[in-house]
């Protein structure tokens, strides 16, 4: 089982390697792939060192699985080349997500939709993954009609340049800016680029990807995405209107029983999800679960997850683990 990690030197790529090691993924050969400037560098994995190669070399080695986290342009250009030699590509960029011929997968929700013919598989956006993880069991029980979500997103979603900006600002140093404004002591209501409808691309990803993953175009999602000076993960304030009424106790039970979700909702002792505690963990944490007293059949909840883990690397590795359960190699 040869596994290529494309973008192995990047922030998500490094976490992918950690998750592969932690979960003891049964690979026999690791092929770390990065840009030409990183070729020849060594990556350590399970106590062994592996040299970084370029994309062309990786394709020639015909890995069984390639985990991509190298940006949309790289994925569009190279995922088909890997697929041509029989490699199953799991792509973490936005390049393939809304392609109607490509499956958009959160394993706990829709891995069963994958077939032997799916050589390119899309990993959803980080903020979408944690949202649909909480929505899915409730959609099955009550029917999600409308979702209003406000995100509080970690700078790690932007990348190492944003982390450096925050660290520089915290230390009072001049440096390269990832954002058009300071992020230290600030909140920027601007994730990704603005579109013609005045929503950002990030906000529309929540709308479109949620429908595709839940396989229900009637679900309405409107979002406001905000970048905040946090490192540990993304948080979301979510207001959901259902077709059917619910009991809050039943909602908590359904979420508690769902794979990959941890309910943290004990306000009497100030227990609720926070990115400082979600950091480094693979689960999605849900709390502040309460009825919206201003609207019929409507619920409020607060969802937190490490965006580099379940929002990216962990979900990607989980898809690869699911593929191993099939006789497709």
Strands 298-305 and 234-242: antiparallel
CA 307 to CA 101: how far, in whole Å? 26
pLDDT 10s per residue in the chain (329 long)? 999 999 999 999 999 999 999 999 999 999 999 998 999 999 999 999 999 999 999 999 999 999 999 999 999 999 999 999 999 999 999 999 999 999 999 999 999 999 999 999 999 999 999 999 999 999 999 999 999 999 999 999 999 999 999 999 999 999 999 999 999 999 999 999 999 999 999 999 999 999 999 999 999 999 999 999 999 999 999 999 999 999 999 999 999 999 999 999 999 999 999 999 999 999 999 999 999 999 999 999 999 999 999 999 999 999 999 999 999 99
By annotation, the residues acting in catalysis are 126, 234
Residue ranges of the chain that CATH labels 3.40.50.720: 2-124+312-324
pLDDT in tens, 128-149: 999 999 999 999 999 999 999 9
Phi, psi of 253 (to 5 degrees): -65, -45
- Domain at 127-307: CATH code: 3.30.360.10
pLDDT in tens, 146-188: 999 999 999 999 999 999 999 999 999 999 999 999 999 999 9
CATH 3.40.50.720 is right for the domain spanning 2-124+312-324: yes
Structure tokens at 183: 């992020």
Residue ranges of the chain that CATH labels 3.30.360.10: 127-307
Q: Does pTM top 0.95 for this prediction?
A: yes
The crossing angle, in degrees rounded to 10, of helices 314-324 and 11-22 is: 50
CA 37 to CA 39: how far, in whole Å? 6
* DSSP letters for 19-60: HHHHTT---SEEEEE--GGGTT-EEEETTEEEE-B-HHHHHH
Q: Which of 156, 136, 158 lies closest to 147 in space, CA to CA?
A: 136
Strands, sheet with 65-68, edge to edge from the N-terminal-most edge strand: 29-33, 2-6, 65-68, 88-91, 120-122, 103-104
């Amino acid at each position: 089982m040869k596994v290529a990690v494309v973008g192995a030197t990047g922030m998500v790529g490094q976490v992918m390697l950690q998750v592969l090691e932690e979960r003891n993924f049964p690979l026999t050969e690791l092929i770390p792939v990065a840009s030409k400037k990183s070729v020849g560098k060594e990556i350590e994995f399970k106590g062994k060192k592996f040299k970084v190669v370029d994309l062309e070399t990786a394709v020639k080695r015909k890995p069984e699985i390639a985990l991509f986290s190298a940006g949309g342009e790289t994925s569009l250009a190279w995922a088909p080349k890997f697929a041509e030699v029989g490699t199953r590509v799991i792509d973490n960029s936005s390049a393939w997500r809304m392609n109607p011929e490509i499956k958009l997968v959160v394993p706990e929700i829709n891995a069963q939709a994958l077939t032997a013919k799916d050589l390119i598989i899309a990993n959803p956006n980080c903020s979408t993954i944690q949202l649909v993880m909480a929505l899915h069991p409730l959609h099955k029980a009550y029917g999600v009609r409308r979702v209003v979500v406000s995100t509080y997103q970690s700078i790690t979603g932007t990348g190492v340049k944003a982390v450096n900006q925050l660290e520089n600002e915290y230390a009072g140093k001049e440096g390269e800016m990832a954002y058009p404004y300071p992020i230290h002591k600030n909140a920027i209501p601007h994730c990704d680029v603005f579109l013609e409808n005045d929503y950002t691309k990030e906000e529309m990803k929540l709308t479109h990807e949620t429908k595709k993953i839940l396989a229900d175009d009637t679900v309405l999602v409107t979002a406001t995405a905000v970048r905040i000076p946090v490192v540990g993960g993304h948080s979301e304030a979510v207001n959901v209107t259902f077709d059917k009424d619910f009991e809050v106790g039943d909602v908590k039970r359904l979420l508690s029983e769902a794979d990959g979700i941890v309910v943290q909702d004990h306000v009497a002792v100030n227990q609720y999800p926070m990115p400082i505690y979600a950091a480094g963990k693979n689960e999605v944490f849900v709390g502040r679960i309460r009825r919206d007293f201003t609207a019929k059949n409507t619920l409020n909840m607060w969802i937190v997850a490490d965006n580099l883990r379940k929002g990216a690397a962990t979900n990607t590795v989980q898809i690869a683990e699911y593929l191993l359960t099939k006789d497709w190699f």
